[in-house]
Amino acid sequence: MWWRCLSGSLAFTLHHMQYPIKGAGLGLRRALLSDMAKLSDDAVDFLEVAPENWIGVGGRFGRQFRALTERFPLICHGLSLSIGSPAPLDIRLLNDIKKFMREHKAILYSEHLSYCGDHGQLYDLMPIPFTAEAVEFVAARIKQAQDILERRIVLEHVSYYVAPGQEMSEIEFLNAVIETADCGLLVDVNNIFVNSVNFGYDAESFLDALPVHRAAYIHIAGHYVEAEDIRIDTHAADVIEPVWALLDKAYGRFGVLPTLLERDFNFPGMAHLLSEVGRIKIAQAQQLKSGRASSSDARAG
Ligand SMILES: [Fe+2]
């Protein structure tokens, strides 16, 4: 496994060494395609797509998509691999994704630490039981997927609303899977916030317990406020202030990782989306500035 030999020497600072993506990105959705075709080159630093939505798409949509992937660096963010499912791993899908990534020069592939069904496909992200047995089971499937794709993949911790069969905490489960599978981590600050409200834990403590050396990039998004203590992760609203604050904390912990704005429904118009992408860029610039200031303070001291 050549990628394992290579990545072993990476000592795993994904964003510094392996992936030439930086700055602020936007999720490419079919509904945004025409508006995104008009973007200036400096409007976003990268795009993220669900490969399942674009594999085999031809015609006008296919040409518009190709034009965008030729202009902007691309991340693939899978939706339906169902890495935690008891059903056999979808080898055909992985091979299609591998080909798609090659065709569009995609820089990395991420998926959700969840499952979408057994032998059927429910197209939803369901929580894997937080157990030692599930750690071994899922980590083996991630390794298998990495071997097929011949690259290290990146797993996102998901928002969830029930925790069946829980034997360990979410953070213990997540960290055990990431380490056992030897894969990367996608940090979603909105998911952390939503889960912290719904399950009554401290979001910053969760962030502080994530492994810095595994973190590849960050997601930020809006959610629905069902009640003060019930939040639903919809990606259909603006990012709220506590989540922006958590992004600043994440930069303080992980450094300025590439960060993607996810918006999947209730689209507000491209100008508004770009204003949120712009806010990510401002947060990144401020973090870099304060980092430089503190390192010059240290030198002065
Ligand atoms: Fe996400």
Average pLDDT over residues 135-159: 96
pTM: 0.89
Residue 163's pLDDT is what?
78
Residue 298's pLDDT is what?
53
Quote the CA–CA distance of 77 and 81 in Å, as a whole number: 10
Query: Which has more confidence, 129 or 175?
Result: 175
Query: How are beta strands 46-49 and 24-27 bridged, if at all?
Result: parallel
Quote the CA–CA distance of 190 and 72 in Å, as a whole number: 25
Evaluate if residue 19 carries a pLDDT over 60.
Answer: no
Q: In the chain, what are the domains?
A: 2-7+24-296 (3.20.20.150)
Q: How far is the CA of 40 from the centre of ligand 1 (A)?
A: 25
Percent of the chain with pLDDT over 90: 73
Q: How far is the CA of 4 from the centre of ligand 1 (A)?
A: 26
End-to-end CA distance of the chain: 48
Q: What is the mean pLDDT of the chain?
A: 88
User: Who contacts 8 (Cβ-Cβ below 8 Å, separation ≥6)?
Assistant: none
Residue 15's pLDDT is what?
45
Evaluate if residue 124 carries a pLDDT over 70.
Answer: no
Answer whether 197's CB lies under 8 Å from 172's CB.
Answer: no
CA nearest to 47, candidates 36, 31, 60: 36
Average pLDDT over residues 159-166: 83
**Range 96-103 contact pairs with CB under 8 angstroms and sequence separation of 24 or more:** 96/51, 96/55, 97/51, 97/55, 97/149, 98/148, 98/149, 98/150, 100/51, 100/54, 100/55, 100/76, 101/51, 101/76, 101/149
Residues, CB-to-ion distance under 5 Å, ligand 1: 188, 219
Provide the pLDDT confidence category of residue 86 given band limits of 50, 70 and 90: confident
Residue 160's pLDDT is what?
86
Average pLDDT over residues 130-149: 96
Q: How far is the CA of 262 from the centre of ligand 1 (A)?
A: 7
Over the stretch 192-240, which tens digit does the pLDDT of each residue have?
A: 999 999 999 999 999 999 999 999 999 999 998 888 888 888 898 999 9
Distances, alpha carbon 168 to alpha carbons 8, 70, 76, 131, 296, in Å: 28, 44, 30, 6, 42
Residue 165's pLDDT is what?
80
Distances, alpha carbon 35 to alpha carbons 30, 73, 77, 280, in Å: 10, 18, 21, 20
Evaluate if residue 189 carries a pLDDT over 70.
Answer: yes
Chain-centroid distance of CA 257 in Å reads 11
Q: How far is the CA of 294 from the centre of ligand 1 (A)?
A: 31
Average pLDDT over residues 128-157: 95
Q: How far is the CA of 291 from the centre of ligand 1 (A)?
A: 26
Evaluate if residue 185 carries a pLDDT over 90.
Answer: yes
Distances, alpha carbon 146 to alpha carbons 10, 139, 141, in Å: 16, 10, 9
Q: How far is the CA of 42 from the centre of ligand 1 (A)?
A: 23
- Quote the crossing angle between the two packed helices 189-199 and 241-254, to the nearest 10°: 120
Evaluate if residue 296 carries a pLDDT over 90.
Answer: no
**What single letter denotes the amino acid at residue 17?**
M
Provide the pLDDT confidence category of residue 295 given band limits of 50, 70 and 90: low
Query: Which has more confidence, 164 or 80?
Result: 80
Residue 2's pLDDT is what?
38
Q: How far is the CA of 215 from the centre of ligand 1 (A)?
A: 14
